[in-house]
Every structure is written in C-alpha cells, then in structure tokens.
C-alpha cells in the first residue's frame, strides 16, 4: 500500500528540470514518489518495473508528472538512437498511462513531457497550441508521444502535454542545461549567430517552467497541449546578442549552418537549425505570471551564482 504522504509521482527526476522540480516540491512540503530506472537507492523511490507491475503501490496519488526520455541532443541521430528516443518516450508514457488508468483511485492529473519540436521547422509562422503538427522525425515522435497517454484520458484523468521550449538554466545539482554548454564558448569571445541569425528560438527560464508546472497542477481547466515558452520568442541573433552582453564579450563570429549539419546531421536540422515562433497561448489566457519573461532576465537569472546544494533536497 502506498504511504499516504507520497502524493506526487515523478519520473525523470535526475535531469536538470526534474531535479529543480523535485527540490521545489520538497520546499512546498509535497512528498514525492520517484520512478527510477536503476536500483532503488533511497526512500521514496520505486523502480519502473515494480511500480507498474504492482498497481497498489501507486494508489492514492494526487498527480503524476512524467519527464523521462532519452536526451534528444545527446549525439547524432543514428537509427539506434532514434529507436531509443522513441521507446523511452512512447512506450513508457503508454505503460504509465495504462497503469494509472487501472487504479481504483487514479490521480486527478497526469502531466507528460512533450516538446515544441512537434511544430517542426515553421520559419516566421506564429504558432500556439491550436497549430497543427509539423513534419520530420521529431514532430512525428512528439505526436506519438502525446497519443500514448490516451489510456489516461479515456479513464477520465486530466492529461496535460507539457510542450517545452528551450529551457534556460545552467546547473541544478549535477545536471546542466544547454546554456551551460554555450557560456564557456561565449566567455572566450567565440560565440556568434547561426548564419544570419533569423531563426526563431522559443525559450523559457527554468524558474518559470517549475512555477508553470505548479500552476498547471492547480488549474483544472488546463488540459491537452500547453506550450511552456516565454511569451517573447527571440531570433537567434537576439539571443546571441543578449548572451554576449551578459558575459561582456563580443559575439561576431557567425556559425555556418552547413558546418552544424555536417557535424550533427539530422539532429542539427531539426533542433538547432529549426525555426519555431511559439507562443504560450493557454498559459497567457490563464494569467500565468512569468517572472522572467524577457531573454535578458532569463539569462541573468541563469548566470546568478547557484544556491548551495542541500542534501535534504537532493
């Protein structure tokens, strides 16, 4: 039987976002039951296989947040890595949704990670949650990913697909984000726009992601896809300029797009080189209060000295 205090199920808790969310839940005194891939190493953890094979362990949850998935930007998209990205998202989402749907007391909400990659490469087109999916491997993967939660929808669970933009954060615990990999390059004065810098980048500050997730948990009217992006997407040139100014270095050396395609292949074409001008229509209409709505504010917050690690929150 599930301990009554464990009322949030969380998978993917070891990544940058998962770690930040887990710590925020602890600060808010919300107990967490973590689904982990490896052996259980601490209280409040449950191994994936055991958790889904014994549904009674999941009874009494108020909500579930599913963030697991192989890193899209880990390396080139070989056939094997594409298969891993698909299986780690689609199969796990379906298995968890089916397990939750079969509970006597299913959670009221299931929040599942997704991505604005579902819109594909759309140039200057303005996109929101009502926009149709785009084309390409990543867009197709996101469509399958979101569809895999249908068993939970059919069971009456409020399902929210968290369509993440580029999350701007540097380090949380042992986990780092994309910005952390860019900063050393820019501090050396070697940063620059990609090509002419016209591609749209839809981003969100890490703190706003965490706050938005709590906001969604407490907003029963929010369901289906929800874009987690700032209301102010920027061009690659604007982002480059803001980061360069933040580290007090020039950023005048353009990065040739063809070089990224040669080095990273399809992954570069569908992520770094894709243009998606995405707006968070649902969060804006629900009056979600962004604390870092501008790119300058988000970068400044990311560059601020990290808080000391607290073992109690790790």
Checking if the pLDDT of 218 tops 90, the result is yes
- The Cα 71–Cα 126 span in angstroms is 27
For residue 311, pLDDT over 50 is answered with no
pLDDT tens sequence across 103-126: 999 999 999 999 999 999 999 999
Structure tokens at 116: 């604005």
Residues 7/30, Cβ–Cβ less than 8 Å: yes
According to the model, what pLDDT value does residue 176 have?
A: 65
At residue 29, φ and ψ (nearest 5 deg) are 60, 40
The pTM of this model reads 0.92
pLDDT digits (tens, 9 = 90+) for 157-179: 999 999 999 999 876 554 567 88
Is 74 contained in some domain?
yes
User: Which residue did the predictor score with more confidence, 271 or 3?
Assistant: 271
Residue 247: inside a domain, yes or no? yes
Domain count of the fold of the chain: 1
Please, what is the average pLDDT of the chain? 90
Residue 125 dihedral angles phi and psi, to the nearest 5°: -60, 135
First to last CA, the chain: 25
**Could you list the residue range(s) of the whole structural domain that residue 104 is in?**
6-306
Which CATH number goes with the domain that contains 118?
A: 3.40.50.720
150: in domain: yes
Q: What is the pLDDT of residue 175?
A: 54
- Check residue 308 and give its pLDDT: 52
Residue 292 included in any domain: yes
Model pLDDT, residue 70: 87
- Whether 4 has a pLDDT exceeding 50, the answer reads no
The structure tokens 């940063």 sit at 191
Lowest-pLDDT choice from 48-52, 196-200, 310-314? 310-314
Cβ pair 241, 177 in contact under 8 A: no
DSSP 74: S
Residue 139 CA to residue 225 CA, distance in Å, equals: 14
């Amino acid at each position: 039987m599930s301990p009554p205090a464990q009322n949030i199920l969380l998978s993917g808790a070891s990544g940058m976002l998962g770690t930040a969310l887990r710590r925020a839940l602890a600060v808010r005194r919300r107990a967490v039951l973590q689904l982990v891939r490896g052996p259980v190493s601490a209280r409040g953890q449950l191994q994936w296989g055991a958790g889904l094979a014994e549904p009674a362990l999941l009874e009494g949850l108020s909500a579930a947040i599913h963030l697991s998935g192989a890193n899209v930007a880990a390396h080139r998209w070989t056939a094997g890595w594409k298969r891993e990205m698909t299986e780690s998202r689609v199969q796990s989402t379906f298995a968890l949704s089916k397990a939750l749907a079969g509970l006597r007391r299913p959670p009221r909400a299931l929040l599942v990670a997704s991505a604005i990659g579902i819109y594909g490469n759309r140039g200057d087109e303005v996109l929101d949650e009502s926009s149709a999916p785009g084309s390409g491997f990543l867009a197709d993967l996101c469509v399958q990913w979101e569809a895999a939660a249908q068993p939970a929808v059919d069971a009456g669970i409020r399902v929210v697909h968290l369509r993440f933009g580029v999350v701007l954060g540097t380090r949380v615990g042992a986990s780092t984000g994309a910005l952390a990999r860019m900063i050393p390059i820019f501090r050396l004065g070697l940063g620059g726009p990609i090509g002419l810098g016209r591609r749209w980048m839809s981003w969100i500050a890490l703190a706003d992601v965490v706050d938005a997730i709590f906001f969604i948990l407490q907003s029963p009217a929010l369901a289906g896809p929800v874009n987690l992006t700032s209301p102010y997407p920027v061009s690659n040139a604007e982002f480059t300029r803001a980061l360069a100014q933040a580290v007090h270095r020039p950023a005048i050396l353009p990065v040739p797009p063809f070089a990224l395609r040669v080095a990273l292949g399809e992954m570069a074409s569908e992520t770094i080189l894709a243009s998606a001008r995405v707006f968070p229509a649902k969060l804006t209409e629900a009056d979600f209060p962004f604390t870092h709505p501008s790119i300058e504010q988000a970068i400044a917050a990311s560059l601020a000295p990290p808080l000391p690690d607290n073992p109690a929150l790790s």
